[in-house]
Amino acid sequence: EADLESRLPLKGKKILITAGPTYEAIDPVRFIGNHSSGKMGFDIAKSAANLGASVILVSGPTVFKAEHSLIKVINVVSGQEMYDACHQYFDEVDVAIAAAAVADYKPKHVATQKIKKAPDNFVIELEKTKDILASLGIIKKKQFLIGFALETENEIENAKGKIQKKNLDLIVLNSLQDQGAGFGKPTNKVTFIDKNFNIEPMELKSKEAVADDILNKVIAHFHE
Ligand code: CTP
Ligand code: CA
């Protein structure tokens, strides 16, 4: 009925969300990672669930826990594990939002034993990880696909390039330039760019409020 529709506008929709960093093993005790806290992805998951959506949250290592009955968390460590989990669920979702900071490179060889300290200089050879979002862009059918972009220069042009390269419907451009925005901070300054290159700069606001703005874009898509 109309009342339920307005309170739970995403009821019946399934959303896949990636969150957090990935850890790429060097040996059994060391890894290559990054400073992503996972907060943005967890906030998006919570907003989506509060709007009635069923959420599959594929998360790299973070301190956050999802407490909502509509959120199913799949914990992963590496980019490959995140890739596998996303591909397991992608067919059944209506929306996918990639908020994870996936490592772009991983060690080419993972040592089976702890690497001992010996030479003064030590080189780790790296190889590219799979681009999860781009791989979903290739196989997407009805799915509304949202990515993030973290840029420090030529922000708009680079973000537009990512929309095309990854076949996205919407990108959330993160401005690190702004004080108070980004890794480990409670706030974000984002600009939305859609697939038609409409550009919408948003105010600096809490990550919870950014999450709500993103879900408003999802709701608007279903009303198109
Ligand atoms: N992404 C992904 N898998 C990767 C790398 C990135 O799914 N291996 C996703 C991120 O979750 C984000 C988007 O792609 O939604 C853009 O990530 P970003 O790091 O900004 O772009 P890259 O394509 O990795 O390019 P670069 O780091 O060189 O700017
Ligand atoms: Ca990257």
Q: Average model confidence (pLDDT) for the chain?
A: 94
CA-to-CA dists, residue 223 to 7, 32, 34, 75, 97, angstroms: 15, 42, 37, 32, 18
The arithmetic mean of pLDDT across residues 194-198, rounded, is 97
Q: What is the pLDDT of residues 33-57, one digit of tens each?
A: 999 999 999 999 999 999 999 999 9
Residue type, 179: Q
Alpha-carbon torsion, ordered 128, 185, 94, 3, to 10 deg:
180
pLDDT at position 177 over 70: no
Alpha-carbon torsion, ordered 157, 159, 160, 165, to 10 deg:
120
pTM of the model: 0.96
Ligand index nearest the alpha carbon of residue 149 = 1
Residue bearing the CA closest to ligand 1, atom 23: 162
Q: What are the sequence ranges of the domains in the chain?
A: 2-112+125-223
Residue length of the chain: 224
**202 Cβ inside 6 Å of ligand 1:** no
pLDDT at position 9 over 90: yes
How many other C-beta atoms can be found within 10 angstroms of the C-beta atom of residue 69?
Answer: 8
The arithmetic mean of pLDDT across residues 125-138, rounded, is 98
- CA pair distance 171, 2, nearest whole angstrom: 30
> Which fold, 2-112+125-223?
Rossmann fold (3.40.50)
> Tokens at residue 111, please?
């040592």
> Tokens at residue 74, please?
């799949």
**131 Cβ inside 6 Å of ligand 1:** yes
